[in-house]
Amino acid sequence: MVDSINTNASSLLGVRSLQKTNSTLGSTQKEIATGKDVNSVKDNAAILAISKLLESDVAGLGSVKNSLDRAISSTDVALAAGSSISDLLLQAKEKAVQAADPGLDDASRSALNQDFAAIKDQITSIVGTAEFNGTNAIKAGGDDIVAITGAEGDGNITIEAQDLSLGGGNITLSEGQSIGSAADAQAAVAAIDDSLSNLTSALSELGSGAGQLQQTKDFTEALSNTTEAGIGNLVDANLASSSADLQASQVKQALGIQSLSIANRQPAAILGLFQS
């Protein structure tokens, strides 16, 4: 090697080595600070593109879960209302059976008829208020309960509305029906029996739909969690490895600085050649 004060090859080599160590150290520090191995396109363009697509899927699945939650809540409201209506129909039947007794006096039958009318009013009130987020699946001409199932907004689950209003498709007991006479009471009992049978079928349809919604939600949550874990496997840093790399780079940096310092002092040794 030529001894020269114009070109210090050892120093140049030390500078390049130190620059490389500093670059590695900077990358390791970024991994530790962000917790990610891939932070930008410069790190790994292909992996970053894949992770962004998967993140889009996770966002879509989040919307699916929101839609399913809304549909489940709407179904729960409809089922709760249907259960209350069933209880009221049983109470109405009890009143109607009592009023069907031929030996009952008019005053007692009139009192029973008033209670019967109040029960019908409660049924009407429940049907009118059984709404969640603008969806009422049990009123006359009610709203179907619909939820999306695909991360791209495609696919859906539809639960058909069940008319539980008085005189509707399922509750054959009409708004104007009374138990003011024994004959009317007997007719009311028959209508209530039919209504209870129809109501059981209607609630079974709603319950089946609710079960399908819950199963889909459970699968969606599992799929979302698995996808998020997959994204982590692609872009997250191995912090144990990064910690070891950080310490190694710091040692290399210290040694590089010391080596560069030694190399920078080498030209000064040339002065010894000219001392007399």
Amino acid of residue 92: A
Do 14 and 255 meet the contact criterion of CB atoms below 8 Å apart? no
- pLDDT confidence band for 6 (50 / 70 / 90): low
Q: Using one digit for the tens of pLDDT, what is the confidence trace for 11-47?
A: 667 677 767 776 666 666 676 666 676 776 676 788 8
Do 210 and 79 meet the contact criterion of CB atoms below 8 Å apart? yes
157: which strand partners?
147
Q: Using one digit for the tens of pLDDT, what is the confidence trace for 118-139?
A: 999 999 999 999 999 999 999 9
| CATH class name, domain 45-235 | mainly alpha
Q: Using one digit for the tens of pLDDT, what is the confidence trace for 111-121?
A: 999 999 999 99
Do 38 and 48 meet the contact criterion of CB atoms below 8 Å apart? yes
- pLDDT confidence band for 9 (50 / 70 / 90): low
Q: What is the mean pLDDT of the chain?
A: 85
Is residue 147 classed as helix, strand or coil in its secondary structure? strand
Q: Where does the chain have alpha helices with state H?
A: 9-34, 41-99, 106-129, 182-235, 239-265
What is the distance between the alpha carbons of residues 231 and 70, in angstroms, rounded to a whole number?
Answer: 28
Closest CA to 62 of 202, 176, 224: 224
Share of the chain above pLDDT 90, in %: 55
pLDDT at 43: 67
State the Cα angle at 142 between 140 and 148, rounded to 5°. 170
pLDDT at 32: 67
Share of the chain above pLDDT 70, in %: 76
State the Cα angle at 83 between 79 and 88, rounded to 5°. 145
What is the distance between the alpha carbons of residues 238 and 230, in angstroms, rounded to a whole number?
Answer: 14
List the single range of 55-64, 96-105, 155-164, 265-274 with lowest mean pLDDT: 265-274
**CB neighbours of 165 closer than 8 A, spacing ≥ 6?**
124, 127, 138, 139, 140, 171
Domain ranges of the chain: 9-35+237-274, 45-235
